[in-house]
Each structure stands twice: as C-alpha cells, then as structure tokens.
C-alpha cells in the first residue's frame, strides 16, 4: 500500500434528505492526483486543533487544499475587504495546528493555493486580502469553469530552488483560481516562484530537512490533463512521503 496522505477539506452546503446541509467536501481532483501518483488519500475534516498531533502521527504526508479565504483577523489584515468569502475560523485554527505540527515532525507537506497562504499565516506571515486591489498591474487570477484547465499564468522559478530542480525548468505555465496572495513572508519561508505580474506563486522552507512545497496554482486540475509539471509535483511528494 502507498503512503497515507491526509487532505484537508472545506464546508459547503449540499442537498440532503434534511435539506441543504453543511458538509465536509473536497474536489475529487485532489484524491485522483494522489492515487495517480501512488498514494492513498484520507480526507481530514476540520475539527478541534487539539486533535492535530494524533492525526499527524498516523499519516505519511499532508496536503493543504484550496478553498475560501483565511480570516484576516489571524494576520492583522483588513477584515472589511469586500471581496472576502468562504471564511471558516474552525478550519483556519485546525490547519494552523497541522502546519506547525508537520513542521516540527518534518512531515512532508504539499500546500496548494489557500494551503500555501495558510502555511504563510500559520508561521507568522501575512496576505494581500485582494490581489487586484493591492498589487498594481496584477492579472485577474480567479479563473472558473473550464478555464481552470488553462495555463495563462507564466511563473518564473528560482534556478537554485528545489522546485526548479524537480521540474527541470525555470519557467512553467500554470492555472490560477485565487484572489489573495502572500504579502509578507513568514520567518523561515522563501519565495521561489513569481508570476509575471509579481504575485508570489511558489514558496519553500529554508531548512531543507522539512520537505515542504507551496504552490499558488492548482496542479491537481492540470494533472487530470496530463500536464507534466503537475504530475511531477505529486509524484515527488508521494515518493518523499513513502520514503519518510
């Protein structure tokens, strides 16, 4: 059996026999990407942060998935920003605990979109509450529908980082489904990828003994279309989780 990979979920209201019900959800693209790379996906529902250590002790790797916005209250941001959506305080607290525990254990982590933002905030960084409002000349990064399989964003990658070595490339074309981004980097984190509008698109941890990769785009969608860089990201993550 492949390594057990915990993947965080989000709350959405879905139809049920009791009417619209709050439900822990995850786009299937995540689980398929993990299975395709040889891992075994386990869905993690948001819960009391005190349960994070037990969970981390039982999985081989952690994927922090996309979703709604991180609450600006957690990083001293502007909670009145009109574009904010999907805030889940319980999810924020739970995922912050997962991030800190994973770092302490050196547990492999792949952080995608919101997940990358969560790591930055959990470790002491901040976010731009809305890219187009705060970064002059920025693109519209919030694609939807079939556009999530397009790759209009060109990301330049630092030649010396782990991601560049993994992809054997210093530039990659990616999708984009977000309106927030990293502002001030947390201590220990380094930006290693940037969009052509200056938005931080990839981060890594300075201590190489923690296998952490954060990407602002969505490789789980692109991997469904056979995108080689996206497949490589998941394959490398699963291999690391397998070998410890």
Q: What pLDDT score does 97 carry? A: 98
Q: What pLDDT score does 88 carry? A: 96
State how far the Cα of 83 lies from the Cα of 42, in Å rounded to an integer: 31
Q: What pLDDT score does 170 carry? A: 96
Q: What pLDDT score does 132 carry? A: 86
Q: What pLDDT score does 87 carry? A: 95
Q: What pLDDT score does 68 carry? A: 95
Domains and CATH numbers, the chain: 4-243 (3.40.50.880)
Q: Which residues are catalytic?
A: 113, 218, 220
| pLDDT (tens place) for every residue of the chain, 244 residues total | 899 999 999 999 888 888 889 899 999 999 999 999 999 999 999 999 999 999 999 999 999 999 999 999 999 999 999 999 999 999 999 999 999 999 999 999 999 999 999 999 999 999 999 998 888 877 777 778 888 899 999 999 999 999 999 999 999 999 999 899 999 999 999 999 999 999 999 999 999 999 999 999 999 999 999 999 999 999 999 999 998 7
Contact call for residues 35 and 82 (beta carbons, < 8 A): no
């Amino acid at each position: 059996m492949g390594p057990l990979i915990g993947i965080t979920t989000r709350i959405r209201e879905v139809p049920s026999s009791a009417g619209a019900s709050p439900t822990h959800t995850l786009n299937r693209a995540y689980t398929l990407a993990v299975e395709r790379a040889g891992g075994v996906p386990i869905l993690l529902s948001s819960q009391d942060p005190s349960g994070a250590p037990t969970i981390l002790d039982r999985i081989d790797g952690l994927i922090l998935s996309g979703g709604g916005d991180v609450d600006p209250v957690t990083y001293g941001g502007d909670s009145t920003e009109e574009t904010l959506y999907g805030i889940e305080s319980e999810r924020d607290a739970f995922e912050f605990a997962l991030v800190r525990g994973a770092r302490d254990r050196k547990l492999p982590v792949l952080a995608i979109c919101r997940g990358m933002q969560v790591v930055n905030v959990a470790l002491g960084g901040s976010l731009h509450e809305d890219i187009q409002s705060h970064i002059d000349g920025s693109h519209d990064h919030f694609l939807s529908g079939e556009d999530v399989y397009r790759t209009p964003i060109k990301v330049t990658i630092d030649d010396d980082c782990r991601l560049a070595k993994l992809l054997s490339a210093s530039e990659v074309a990616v999708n984009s489904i977000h309106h927030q981004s990293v502002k001030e980097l947390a201590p220990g984190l380094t930006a290693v990828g940037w969009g052509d509008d200056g938005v931080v698109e990839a981060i890594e941890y300075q201590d190489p003994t923690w296998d952490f990769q954060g990407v602002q785009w969505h490789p789980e969608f692109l991997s469904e279309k056979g995108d080689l860089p996206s497949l490589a990201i998941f394959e490398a993550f699963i291999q690391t989780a397998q070998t410890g």
